[in-house]
Amino acid sequence: MQNFIFHNPTKIIFGRGTAPQIGPETAALGRRALLIYGRESIKKSGLRGQVMNALANTGVAVVEHGGVSSNPVLSHVREGIAKARAEQADVIVAVGGGSVIDTAKAIAAGAPADGDVWDFFTYKQEVKTALPITAVLTLAATGSEMNAGTVITNEATQEKFACTHRLLYPKTSILDPELTFTVPPDYTAYGAADAIAHVLEFYMTTADEDVPVQMDFMEGLIRNIIASCERCLADPCDYGGRAALMWAATLALNGLTGAGLGRTAFPMHMIEHSLSALYNVPHGAGLAVVVPAWLRWRLPQNPARIARRGQEVFGLKPDAEQAVNALRGWFSKTGCPVTLAGLKIPEADIPRIAANAHALARVWRLEDYTPERIEEILGLCR
């Protein structure tokens, strides 16, 4: 096991009927909230009204900043920063999925900053201070509710980059599985694919072979994400299934899976970010395409670990090829695309995608990932 620091200060409030607690949790942090959300769904479901009431009941003034898209964009973040400054917001409230929480984090970092918020994503400047964030989660997927990362797309440059800083942990995140009952089957499966990919990035890229506690934990998470996703697809209102999927997705990227693994990397995300940046495909759908291809490409280097995952997760005989196929087959069974064609991306675009991904590989210091190598992996997305 490698040396590590684990320090995750986010307070998780989990369960049925917990959304109104956003009121007191936010009131403890500020008096003027910028409320971030997506499109129409939280208006239709009544959640927006519930949150507005809870905030009003605790004396928190609210300015709204809706309209977050999936693959949230920099221009919308900048509008939010301007609004936060103009309204002197002292707390950011996110109500939605990972895109909404990521937008909230970018605004929280950008509003009090001197320089431009995008500089945090290109590592040109570091976050020095940030507004506090509270969140009500409506999608089991990204883990943003209990980590310090945010991913934003700069539409002008077609760069989908990330920023991580410990000031960006939400102070409180509220996770009510019932709020995910209305998530349609495709996005339920994409969320599961995202969570599985998070675990696999750590699982596959650590060079430490002696991390048995973490390996066991990660295998258990993947098993549970798969099993709970299947329950949710069979019955969207299966509370136990939604709850297990939600909690497992949170645990998949809250720092526990990677603690002690030493240097790890996110090469599958690095490649997927380009698919989202260039074609605006849902992140989880892009990952369902990239993950099996990356595993197939990786197979000669680490067949034992891939085989172990197949054994522990799918109950297969130890066989790396079968393990890759099993995961790809499972993604496909849940309705995820597993090829570039399934994402409606022409194979002729591979060099362009690889060039875009390579820009992120440089920022993330994934030195091994040359454009040629990325093209090779993308060539396996068929």
Using the minimum distance from each CB to a second copy, give the nearer residue, 239 or 279. 239
Positive/negative CA dihedral, 83, 85, 88, 90: positive
CB of 292 to a second copy, least distance (A): 24
CB of 313 to a second copy, least distance (A): 11
> Whose CA is closest to 284, among 350, 158, 196, 183?
196
Candidates 382, 380, 360, 381; CA nearest to 371 is 360
Going by C-alpha positions, the residue among 233, 240, 219, 247 that lies closest to residue 316 is: 219
Q: How far is the CB of 151 from a second copy (least distance, A)?
A: 24
CA 238 to chain centre: 23
- Our CB check for a second copy shows the closer of 175 and 189 to be 175
Strand partners, 95: 37, 136
Q: Which residues bind a second copy (CB under 8 A)?
A: 1-18, 177, 210-213, 216-217, 219-221, 223-224, 227-228, 239-240, 243-244, 247-248, 251, 256, 259-260
Which pair of structure tokens corresponds to residue 144? 């943003």
Kindly state the smallest distance separating residue 119's Cβ from a second copy, in Å.
Answer: 28
Nearest residue (CB) to a second copy, 1 versus 234: 1
Q: Give CA–CA dist 225/192, Å, rounded.
A: 6
Closest to a second copy by CB, 2 vs 332, is 2
Is the Cβ of residue 254 or residue 276 nearer to a second copy in the bound state?
254
Helix axis angle for 371-379 and 283-298, nearest 10°, is: 100
Q: Which is nearer to a second copy, 262 or 335 (CB)?
A: 262
User: Smallest Cα–Cα separation from 298: which of 206, 195, 198, 194?
Assistant: 206
| Least Å from the CB of residue 226 to a second copy | 11
In the complex, what is the shortest distance from the CB of residue 238 to a second copy, in angstroms, rounded to a whole number? 9
Q: How far is the CB of 116 from a second copy (least distance, A)?
A: 31
Q: What is the CA radius of gyration of the chain?
A: 20
Give the Cα separation of 203 and 253 in Å (integer). 12
Taking the least distance from each CB to a second copy, the nearer of 1 and 207 is: 1
